[in-house]
Amino acid sequence: MPFVFGFLAGALGGLMGVGGGILLVPLLVHALGTRQHEAQGTSLAFVTATALVAAVPYLRQGNLDLWLALYLALGAVPGVLLGAALARRQTARRLRQALGLLMVLTAVKILITAPANAGPPHPWPPPLNILLGAVVGILGGLLGVGGGTILVPILVLAERVPQHVAQGVSLLMILPTGIVGAWTHARHGHVVRALLPSLMAGGALGALLGALLAHRIESGTLSRIFAIFLLLVSVQMIFGRGRDTVADSAELPGGTQR
């Protein structure tokens, strides 16, 4: 069963340029009876491996901006630590709901106007992308939402980065933030190591197939599929329990939602 769960989460991650934790964590909690923090920590360890596998097809197809990913990661790593620290001191339900509503509007905009036809790329200067990475990291650490679900729409709509490139960058940025998060959870014994071999084996296969499938889909169509994915995530953010208690606050990007 862990192999199947890993395959499904990995396929989602490879196809959408996210970690797959948004699918894996509920499966671990509700199907296998794993405790929430253990599921989150295990998911973080899982997504670092699957993101690396999924990033390879994006790199081979020339859909991976290494410098952009580096700038974003420079901000995201300290940002996620700050966001997680803030989360330990406060609840963030209303902020989750507000961000969920914003994601709904973003998804609708993508569905109405294909980003592929929005014009030439408009890259931001490195300092702004470092700041963007920090903001994404803080929001992810504070709200338990995945960086990819926040980052990809910003890259596509604001910087006019092609959908495939935005997803490739998102996958690469998962690595440093995921490693930091997995290490933090492992220190507290929140990684179920016995599950990792099967999860990672299934995740690696699923991530590879998902990434290969993504590159067989035209950019505008892929953007609209991502928008539908955003709508599903936003519904969970608006109506789900989320982080209603301070005790539920040990998540990092790539954990419950990435």
What does the pLDDT look like over 88-147, one tens digit per residue? 666 667 777 777 887 888 888 888 776 555 567 788 999 999 999 999 888 877 766 667
Q: Is residue 30 part of a domain?
A: yes
Token pair of 62 as six digits: 């020339």
Q: What is the pLDDT of residue 188?
A: 75
Q: Is residue 20 part of a domain?
A: yes
Rounded CA gap, 255 and 44, in Å? 5
Cβ-based neighbours of 12, under 8 Å, separated by 6 or more: 18, 20, 22, 23, 206, 210
Q: Is residue 255 part of a domain?
A: no
For the stretch 8-65, pLDDT in tens is 989 988 998 887 877 888 888 888 888 877 887 888 888 888 888 999 999 999 888 9
Q: Is residue 256 part of a domain?
A: no
Q: Is residue 229 part of a domain?
A: yes
Q: Is residue 253 part of a domain?
A: no
Whole domain around residue 217: which residue ranges? 2-248
Token pair of 215 as six digits: 């590159």
Where does residue 134 fall: left (phi above 0), alpha (psi -120 to 50 degrees), or beta otherwise?
alpha
Q: What is the pLDDT of residue 144?
A: 62
In the chain, the number of structural domains is: 1
Q: What is the pLDDT of residue 256?
A: 44
Using only C-alpha atoms, the chain has a radius of gyration, in whole angstroms, of 16
Rounded CA gap, 200 and 212, in Å? 18
Q: Which residue has the higher pLDDT, 106 or 245?
A: 106
Rounded CA gap, 203 and 208, in Å? 8
Q: Is the pLDDT of residue 161 over 60?
A: yes
Asked whether the whole model's pTM tops 0.85, one would answer no
Q: Is residue 219 part of a domain?
A: yes
Cβ-based neighbours of 62, under 8 Å, separated by 6 or more: none
Phi, then psi, of 215 in degrees rounded to 5: -80, 0
Q: Which residue has the higher pLDDT, 207 or 184?
A: 207
Q: Which residue has the higher pLDDT, 76 or 86?
A: 76
Which range among 53-67, 73-87, 104-118, 217-231 shows the weakest confidence by mean pLDDT? 104-118
Rounded-to-10 torsion of CA 196, 42, 78, 131: 90
Please state, rounded to an integer, the average pLDDT across all residues of the chain. 81
Is residue 66 exposed (0-12), middle (13-18) or buried (19+ Cβ within 10 Å)? Answer: exposed
Half-sphere exposure of 174 (CA within 13 A, CB side): 37
Question: What's the DSSP call for residue 117?
Answer: G
Rounded CA gap, 231 and 240, in Å? 13
Q: Which residue has the higher pLDDT, 218 or 246?
A: 218
How does residue 197 score in pLDDT terms, banded at 50, 70 and 90? very high
How does residue 73 score in pLDDT terms, banded at 50, 70 and 90? very high
Dmax (CA) of the chain: 48
